[in-house]
């Protein structure tokens, strides 16, 4: 990076421990309230001012603004995928250069690095930080707020964990979940099987139709992931359900997939098929990150960028046409897994990168 900024790794580790030790599983409102208060306290202690808790049905979001004309939004989330009690089994530790514990990589480490990066700036005007409570479960309650602040600021830095090798995330697939429900008719499997309408057989036809939508050659993956049907071994199943994970790289593929699910039709007489779901996070094209990624490369020569399959709130901001750079958070790996870890030696460099990007955005002609 062109200029080193003094940050304290020990202080970052202290704040990371504080956040990790307040467990924050999505949808647990009491836990998320405690977590939001902890996030707000860390922000206020390092940056001053007031971090506001924005109440929602999904739990409190945390919003901090330095004041002045908004110019850059630092975006993250404090909810995690781990249930209460994970901390007891997997407590926060720092050993052999790695910090471990639930949420260190996705994405509490990134939040801490961002706060400490901004703290090095003498002038913080124009900077906003938004930490949402429901990113891991679709951002339904936070989407309007994060889109509003992204449009107001005009540039977004997303503090999700880095891609493999510490690369920034320059593009993301759109992603969504579809639920296909099949209604048939029950009957005795031995006495009169033909009197029933077998929802499991219909579900099998639907799975094959759905799987045929897959186009990995152009970045579209359509993956049936969960299926359920039947009640007893001597009853023709009257109901079945299929859950499908979808990832797409383009708006055109999003439209094709959504239209195809809407058009699913039963194969068996008298069976009924109903579909719920959509590609909830639109694709984040690499064009959305190109300008900010070029700045990051000047600040940290040699840093790489990768397009990835997972989604984040950066998908929403990029879809608005707001320049968005993702993967600026922790270097590490194991998101959503027991081996989740953060590389301690990379923390200062990433905090410096955030600070450098903030300054570059504010000093640009459009800033």
The structural domains of the chain, with segments of one domain joined by +, span 9-172+284-363, 174-281
Beta strands in the chain (DSSP E): 51-54, 61-65, 72-77, 93-95, 98-100, 127-132, 156-158, 168-172, 174-183, 221-229, 239-248, 272-281, 305-308, 324-325, 332-333, 341-343
Whether 214 sits among the annotated catalytic residues: the reply is no
The CB density around residue 107, as the number of other CB atoms within 10 Å, is: 28
**Residue pLDDT, tens place only, 196-223:** 999 999 999 999 999 999 999 999 999 9
Topology annotation, domain 9-172+284-363: Aminopeptidase (3.40.630)
CA-wise closest residue to 180 among 230, 244, 137? 244
Q: What is the DSSP string of 162-219?
A: P-GGG-EEEEE-EEEEEEEEEE-B--BTTT-GGGSB-HHHHHHHHHHHHHTT-BGGGT
Output the six-digit token pair for 67: 């004041």
Structural contact between residues 175 and 247, judged by C-beta atoms closer than 8 angstroms: yes
Output the six-digit token pair for 338: 């027991």
Q: Report the CATH number of the 174-281 domain.
A: 3.30.70.360
- Residue 366 burial (10 A CB sphere; 0-12, 13-18, 19+): exposed
CA-wise closest residue to 284 among 260, 259, 316? 316
Helices and strands (H and E) in the chain: how many: 10, 16
**pTM across the whole model:** 0.91
At residue 51, φ and ψ (nearest 5 deg) are -95, 120
The CB density around residue 356, as the number of other CB atoms within 10 Å, is: 22
Among residues 106, 128, 134, 135, the one annotated as catalytic is 135
Structural contact between residues 112 and 12, judged by C-beta atoms closer than 8 angstroms: yes
**Residue pLDDT, tens place only, 262-299:** 999 999 999 999 999 999 999 999 999 999 999 999 99
Q: Distance between CA 300 and CA 158 in Å, rounded?
A: 17
Structural contact between residues 298 and 307, judged by C-beta atoms closer than 8 angstroms: no
Show pLDDT as tens, one digit a residue, over the chain (367 residues). Answer: 434 458 999 999 999 999 999 999 999 999 999 999 999 999 999 999 999 999 999 999 999 999 999 999 999 999 999 999 999 999 999 999 999 999 999 999 999 999 999 999 999 999 999 999 999 999 999 999 999 999 999 999 999 999 999 999 999 999 999 999 999 999 999 999 999 999 999 999 999 999 999 999 999 999 999 999 999 999 999 999 999 999 999 999 999 999 999 999 999 999 999 999 999 999 999 999 999 999 999 999 999 999 999 999 999 999 999 999 999 999 999 999 999 999 999 999 999 999 999 999 999 876 5
Whether 79 sits among the annotated catalytic residues: the reply is yes
């Amino acid at each position: 990076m062109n200029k080193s900024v003094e940050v304290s790794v020990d202080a970052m580790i202290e704040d990371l421990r504080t956040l990790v030790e307040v467990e924050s599983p999505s949808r647990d409102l009491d836990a998320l309230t405690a977590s939001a208060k902890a996030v707000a306290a860390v922000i206020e202690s390092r940056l001053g001012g007031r971090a506001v808790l924005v109440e929602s049905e999904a739990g409190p979001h945390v919003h901090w603004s330095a004041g002045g004309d908004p110019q850059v939004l630092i975006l993250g989330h404090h909810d995690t995928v781990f249930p209460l009690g994970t901390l007891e089994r997997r407590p926060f530790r720092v050993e052999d250069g790695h910090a471990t514990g639930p949420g260190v990589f996705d994405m509490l480490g990134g939040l801490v690095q961002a706060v400490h990066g901004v703290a090095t700036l003498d002038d913080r005007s124009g900077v906003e930080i938004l930490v949402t409570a429901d990113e891991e479960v679709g951002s339904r309650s936070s989407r309007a707020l994060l889109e509003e602040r992204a449009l107001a600021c005009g540039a977004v830095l997303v503090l999700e964990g880095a891609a493999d090798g510490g690369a920034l995330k320059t593009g993301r697939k759109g992603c969504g979940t579809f639920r296909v429900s099949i209604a048939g008719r029950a009957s005795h499997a031995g006495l009169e099987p033909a009197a029933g309408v077998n929802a499991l057989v219909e579900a099998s036809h639907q799975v094959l139709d759905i799987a045929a939508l897959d186009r990995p050659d152009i970045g579209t993956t359509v993956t049936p992931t969960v299926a359920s049907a039947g009640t007893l071994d001597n009853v023709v199943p009257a109901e079945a359900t299929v859950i499908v994970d979808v990832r797409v790289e383009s708006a055109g593929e999003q439209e094709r997939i959504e239209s195809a699910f809407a058009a699913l039709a039963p194969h068996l007489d008298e069976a009924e098929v109903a579909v719920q779901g959509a590609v909830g996070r639109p694709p984040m094209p690499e064009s959305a990150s190109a300008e900010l990624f070029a700045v990051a490369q000047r600040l940290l020569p040699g840093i790489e960028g990768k397009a990835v399959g997972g989604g984040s709130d950066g998908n929403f901001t990029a879809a608005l046409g707001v320049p968005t750079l993702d993967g600026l958070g922790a270097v590490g790996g194991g998101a959503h897994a027991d081996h989740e870890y953060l590389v301690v030696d990379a923390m200062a460099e990433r905090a410096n990168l955030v600070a450098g990007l903030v300054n570059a955005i504010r000093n640009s002609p459009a800033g």
